[in-house]
Amino acid sequence: MSSLSSYSILSQLEEQSPSDHDTFKEDLPLKEIPGSYGLPFIGAIKDRWDFYYNQGRDEFFRARMTQYNSTIFRSNMPPGPFMAKDPKVIVLLDAASFPVLFDMTKVEKKDVFDGTYMPSTGFTGGYRILSFLDPSEPKHKALKGYFLSVLASKHDNFIPLLRKSLTELFKTLESQLSSKKEVNFNPISDTYAFEYVFNLFCGKSPKDTVLGSGGNTTVDTWLVPQVVPLITLGVPKLLQLVEDLLIHTFPIPPFLVKSKYNKIYQAFSTSATEILDQAKSFGIEKDEACHNLIFLTCFNTYGGLKVLFPSLFKWVGRAGPTLHSQLAHEIRTIAKQEGGVTFAAIEKMVLTKSVVYEVLRIEPPVPFQYGHAKTDLVIQSHDASFKVKKGEMIFGYQPFATKDAKVFEDPEKFVPYRFMGKAEENLKYVFWSNGRETEDPTVDNKQCAGRDLVVLMARVLLVDFFLKYDTFTCSDEVFLVGTKVTFKSLTKASNGV
């Protein structure tokens, strides 16, 4: 493979046709949904301990899928008592059933952004933020339309501002690596990812506001209490009970981070005046717009990049120098032909695009999706049909759905060329953005408003990296909800643009 360019790989894949598993099949047997919630309270606690400590996340689902011989079954989902009023869910683990969670005629998305529990609105200025609204709620249309408009207005700034932040990111990484044998990439990535998203929406560096140089750390302090019920810190066995009581049993009160959030609010309210002034035309008061902008910027975007950027280097690093050489060749050739890093140039980098989508498929930054059934309905796996009653909570575990062996060949393997040629049509089975990658965010659905921006950021990250470097080595390990990446070496580009 080392002698193949991305273009020759593309020609090999032209004959591949995507699978089609989308049609409703009348002949599938109707079955009872297997699984059990166990005894009240006790069953939810047992499932929580299996999920975090006894089995771990993936094995929790895999074991039950094997036990019930079904990709659809009943279970409790953490955090459970006393944080969640009702932990009972119907689990979906395949690509055929998962998309029901995107169908707004069948599911309601009210207050399910974090799953079976909802953090206090005290974390967000007393408002139910856009992420917690169902499209049927009037405020959803106004806020989603507002943010789609804001993103469109910032289009010309996407690439130049990101490249400016990436220049500093790589300079810092290279400098630290010159004096150390290895460097933790995550804190460097976090710093400059936040620098970028704040600058994009607020028009200045967070360092030039009350946030100062530690802006992303302040944001992390606000973020953690909202998501900590969904994670384990990997504590020793003797401390698991203590951890479970502290972060999975009772919600962390927002007053503990109120001073941090006030500082964030002050930075946004005084810096993003141009964007906030636009809210009135959508019928949104400036205060509510500001709290929503903070959530979009700091939780949705920056929070996602904390997972995605290390994940990109994890998988590209594991792939090794052959892929690095192919990416460098494609990126440098097209950047030179197009006169720089432009939208048109990036769109022509088919291998780079495929690599990003493959990372989003194999390790989606948001693994969980939830919704309540709006009516009695029938959900189909590849093999059977199941009745779901109105009001029941449906839960999809995305990393299994996007690694469905009936859709993707070698689904557990990172295949950089997976979405090239005709196989690009299989992007309809990439669900990371709370929707199919082949569909668009609108005011009537819950697909991420910044879907295209996130994909662009990931592609520009690879483009700028391989304009500067030929190859690299790194190690990776599981870290909270994502990956910790440690760089071991960087080899500067021998013929950069």
Residue 227: which region, alpha, beta or left (left: phi > 0; alpha: psi -120 to 50)?
alpha
> How deeply is 325 buried, as exposed, middle or buried, from its count of CB atoms within 10 A (0-12, 13-18, 19+)?
middle
Question: Is the confidence at residue 323, as pLDDT, over 70?
Answer: yes
Residues 423-445: b if buried by 16+ CB within 10 A, e if exposed: bbebbbbbbbbbbbbeeebeeeb
Mean pLDDT of 453-460: 97
CB 104 within 8 A of CB 445: yes
Specify the 3-state DSSP secondary structure of 443: coil
**% pLDDT > 90, the chain:** 91
Residues 88-112: b if buried by 16+ CB within 10 A, e if exposed: bbbbbbbbbbbbbbbebebbbbbbb
Q: At a CB cut-off of 8 Å and minimum separation 6, what does 441 contact?
A: 144, 148, 433, 435, 447, 448, 449, 451
Closest to 64 in 3D by CA, of 83, 30, 38, 31 = 38
Taking only the tens place, the pLDDT of each residue in 175-217 is: 999 999 999 999 999 999 999 999 999 999 999 999 998 999 9
What domains can you pick out in the chain, each with its CATH number? Answer: 21-492 (1.10.630.10)
Taking only the tens place, the pLDDT of each residue in 4-51 is: 344 344 443 443 334 444 566 778 999 999 999 999 999 999 999 999
Taking only the tens place, the pLDDT of each residue in 263-307 is: 999 999 999 999 999 999 999 999 999 999 999 999 999 999 999
Question: Is the confidence at residue 154, as pLDDT, over 60?
Answer: yes
Q: At a CB cut-off of 8 Å and minimum separation 6, what does 134 contact?
A: 104, 108, 109, 110, 140
Taking only the tens place, the pLDDT of each residue in 344-372 is: 999 999 999 999 999 999 999 999 999 99
Query: pTM (2 decimals)?
Result: 0.93
pLDDT at position 22, please? 57
Q: What is the mean pLDDT of the chain?
A: 93
Question: Is the confidence at residue 450, as pLDDT, over 60?
Answer: yes
pLDDT at position 470, please? 97
Mean pLDDT of 84-104: 96
pLDDT at position 19, please? 42
Band the pLDDT of 480: cuts 50, 70, 90.
Answer: confident
Structure tokens at 71: 């990709």
